[in-house]
Structure 1
């Protein structure tokens, strides 16, 4: 039996403090802490030639010992009538944070380049020994961050959180926080130049100031190590501890209260049983209040206990067979203006649509989604697949590209490894097999195991056909040996023949592992009707679903599916005027949430599956 048992799993990674961005094993648990929000209106300057960063010799201002007033991050003002300064944040336009610039200003709809953001703020109340951090939920793609004219650091990766410690760097009044945000695509980036979603630029998730004591709870982990005995083991790490300090871990509803002294490394270990605990599941997403307290700090959260495992070709949740009634989701909400999901309300709407479909599972594609959505999945009883944007073909031989991917993997796991809803970490999507690719992904798989060996590992692979029989589809990939769940995308009926082809295809998948179909589908413009043989119509998409789902049921080891996709989403690849209009139309709903005919086919299928039919 292959067991991945996080049960109650809450681990965040130790972060180097000071003027450095979050590294590959750094995270700051702050979602449930009191914080000082910097969301709202930020002043912005669009800078396509990066005049505020480079001089006319293309030398970066922030690498000069005394940057000139022309460097935008100095936020300078004219001191005399004759002083030449060619920018003024106070007179600049404003954008809302969180939010992307593409959907907020029509002039920036297609823009890829640099935009400077500035927010003025007063220092939050804090004691003389307290520590202060600035935390960014996500910035796409590269963020150069400055506070009061001094550089804090750089972060790359458009979907992962990062932070800087700013203790001792704040003024009482009028602090100037400035970011140069650059969403240009690069061949050696993750993702690379070519994707099938919109490259939304900006500070797309919340910005917060967090005040903590000199010694605070930074890293904590609890894991259900035995399903049968209901044994929980874990640890707590205190940042700033010298050793000997005590920490108490409590689960009040389970009458658990354990106190330990931390060692010289600041860590305390825990082990106890919870025989009365109710296990988390989609049917009953039970969450328990968790309290971690020291002499000076208290951290409170809600956590769920559950196990996830495989046994041969079976997928087991809490020891019971599980079928994943899934749907894929992009982090886009177009019902009110479009763009990236900006808040918990929009995230909840996406998950509510998935629940209306009858789903018990969502595939969050193709990058780590916002923290709201995974925490809501905990509450709403939706299992989750979370992945990093190693998408299509990236620079497999570039060590810097690998480090970037590993950093994003570590940040995703570091933030979310404690969510009961998440059962699968995904390494990649539709990557072509090669020696370089296999080495790259094998390193990522090994890293994922070291970061969190309590969940299943997978990736969206591809199929091919037997050379001697075009009706036999084969899923065979060296990556399948590295993962726990054999997952693949297939588009029979859209990119691969007509829907009727699904009625004769047979499958060969030579692994003693569960099989999950991570994508299938076809495009339909909502409200476009016609014969079932006419592409782009709701009837064609409906027929594709009607023929595909029985085909999937015939696959040996089939444990679930996440069709592509919940709702239509923007993509610059989709250019057919009057039908696509820069939207991928494979949603079972329109971008406004209107249900297409395929929605009801899938909903009926999931109702039968839920009933065991």
Structure 2
């Protein structure tokens, strides 16, 4: 009994000490989730639901950190603790300080490998690190990675030992002083440009795998042929002799397929296969098995949605977007994925799902993920809740900043070779890591004219690399006769000022109805919207007026629309929800009614 009490006493002391050493930085607004943060249980959910194994170890939590001039050696001692995975500039990191391109951020923590992982390889995963990361385990460099939005991992088997191990990460991030994709991060936040995000900002985790293991899974539904194409990449392709895929509906096996010698598998689905849609977001469960030398060596769980994204001309000659060979008006909010306390990183998994849930509650059927990439779990929530996703590539380069009222400048920029290589590398990594999520319908390589370059070439590559989805060449940007749609931006009210007879015409941004609520703003001053209102009733009526205009424009040419935006972000107060997610600012019932009318405006027309 004494040993039992001593154990819990030590445990309580450790918990108390961890919480005593960490507190949110700054005094800005916070979400309710952040107000109840548990530093000993930070984002504990499995981070990769599209390819799941049973065993893993979460390395989120308090790490040691130091900020040193770029080019310095590893610190002899560390200056404090930082809560991973929150950027150093964020409140939830417990630091809340700018890094700057002249400095590097060092992280360090200890970990132990569970004894049950003996004789297996160990992978060290990073969900995302902005921007350049160098990683050591026990003073042995295990790898480097550039890019702020895609996951990466290293095999650290040869560098680990029994007992305590030490991982160190060094990060350099030039923000808007560099030639890398960065989204809306800037060194000097103002207007539509927000606080920089540097360092680790998604879950860090360890995973045991066998000698021969499944590295990647690429799942492509084919509704017309009633097939599910599954391609499996293993770390040692020459050693693999068979892959098997089993498809389940509620625990019942309904289809299966197998292939030898690394050939892709076409799984014949049931004749009455259930299709995925926003109204019926049905997902099949998958079990994928890898065999080497006649033995089962690895197994992962996954899932898939049977759906098809395409375009078609209607009886009136208007090109329309389609889902599962039916016309659909895709309507949803611009979603930038920023948090007042975590910046790029939601304070909890419940918070991560909240904006999607509210978009669904408000009657939308689509979300445009704006110049940011989310953690894998965000896309899985879209799959399960039934929300179509338009996925932007984060903009970058040192091109001139956008000015209000200037949606495109009529010419592409000339990028340096470094900038162009960074873009191409990270765009491919983003498509690779998001490929299998059925909710993603549209790739958007450029927003407006922000760093737009070689548009026909980038669009052609994107379309050839993923023929299963549509490509929006440049949302509101320089317009070329390529890709699958023409995308216009118009603030505040919708307007069909250009029309494409060969492709669907969509309204990639409009709205921006501003309403600042005291006690829920990032700053007391500088708050703005494209139009400003003083109360919820006025703002709601203006929203409905725009939606009714959109209904009329859908009859004459628009096939989709994106309203700016789901939440306030820093000094932008044109969200439907406050930045701290505590208040839905407009009338929810009225919005849901009109939004559903817009989403179903093309139903039963053909």
Tell me the number of residue pairs that the alignment of Structure 1 and Structure 2 aligns. Answer: 505
Q: Is the 8 A contact 1:238 1:267 kept in 2?
A: no
1:87-486 matched pairs, under 5 angstroms:
87-89=76-78, 92-101=79-88, 102-104=90-92, 108-112=96-100, 113-125=103-115, 130-185=120-175, 186-191=177-182, 196-227=193-224, 229-242=225-238, 245-253=241-249, 254-262=253-261, 266-294=262-290, 295-312=296-313, 313-334=319-340, 340-390=345-395, 394=399, 396-431=414-449, 437-439=452-454, 441-462=455-476, 477-478=479-480, 481-486=481-486
Q: Is the 8 A contact 2:397 2:415 kept in 1?
A: no
Cα deviation code 1:275-297 (max 9, x no counterpart) = 13101111111111101113111
CA shift for structure 1 position 457: 0.8
1:52-67 matched pairs, under 5 angstroms:
53-54=71-72, 61=73
Q: Say yes or no: does 1:35 pair with 2:56.
A: yes
Q: Is the 8 A contact 2:547 2:598 kept in 1?
A: no
The answer for the alignment partner of 1:9 in structure 2 is none
Q: Is the 8 A contact 1:103 1:339 kept in 2?
A: no
The DSSP-based 3-state class of the residue aligned with 2:484 is: coil
- Unmatched segments (≥5 aa) in structure 1: 1-26, 55-60, 62-70, 73-86, 464-475, 494-501, 571-582
**C-alpha separation in 2, matches of 1:328 and 1:243:** 46
The DSSP-based 3-state class of the residue aligned with 1:563 is: strand
The answer for the alignment partner of 1:527 in structure 2 is 517
Structure 1 residues 604 and 28, CA, compared in 2 at 3 Å: closer, same or farther?
closer
The answer for the alignment partner of 1:81 in structure 2 is none
Structure 1 residues 438 and 268, CA, compared in 2 at 3 Å: closer, same or farther?
closer
Cα deviation code 1:38-93 (max 9, x no counterpart) = 1111111122x23xx43xxxxxx5xxxxxxxxx33xxxxxxxxxxxxxx413xx32
Q: Is the 8 A contact 1:538 1:598 kept in 2?
A: no
Q: Is the 8 A contact 1:225 1:233 kept in 2?
A: yes
The answer for the alignment partner of 2:18 in structure 1 is none
1:482-497 matched pairs, under 5 angstroms:
482-492=482-492
Structure 1 residues 323 and 246, CA, compared in 2 at 3 Å: closer, same or farther?
same
- Give the alignment's Cα RMSD to 1 decimal: 3.0
**C-alpha separation in 2, matches of 1:273 and 1:337:** 42
The DSSP-based 3-state class of the residue aligned with 1:373 is: helix
Q: Say yes or no: does 1:514 pair with 2:504.
A: yes
**C-alpha separation in 2, matches of 1:516 and 1:217:** 39
Structure 1 residues 460 and 188, CA, compared in 2 at 3 Å: closer, same or farther?
same
**C-alpha separation in 2, matches of 1:165 and 1:286:** 35
CA shift for structure 1 position 396: 3.5
1:536-547 matched pairs, under 5 angstroms:
537-538=534-535, 541-542=539-540, 544-547=542-545
**C-alpha separation in 1, matches of 2:124 and 2:474:** 35
Q: Is the 8 A contact 2:64 2:80 kept in 1?
A: yes
**C-alpha separation in 2, matches of 1:451 and 1:129:** 37
Q: Is the 8 A contact 2:544 2:594 kept in 1?
A: no
- Unmatched segments (≥5 aa) in structure 2: 1-47, 187-191, 291-295, 314-318, 400-412, 519-528
CA shift for structure 1 position 526: 3.1
Q: Say yes or no: does 1:548 pair with 2:535.
A: no
Structure 1 residues 400 and 339, CA, compared in 2 at 3 Å: closer, same or farther?
closer
Cα deviation code 1:161-199 (max 9, x no counterpart) = 111121211111221111122333224221387572321
**C-alpha separation in 2, matches of 1:602 and 1:217:** 45
Structure 1 residues 33 and 387, CA, compared in 2 at 3 Å: closer, same or farther?
farther
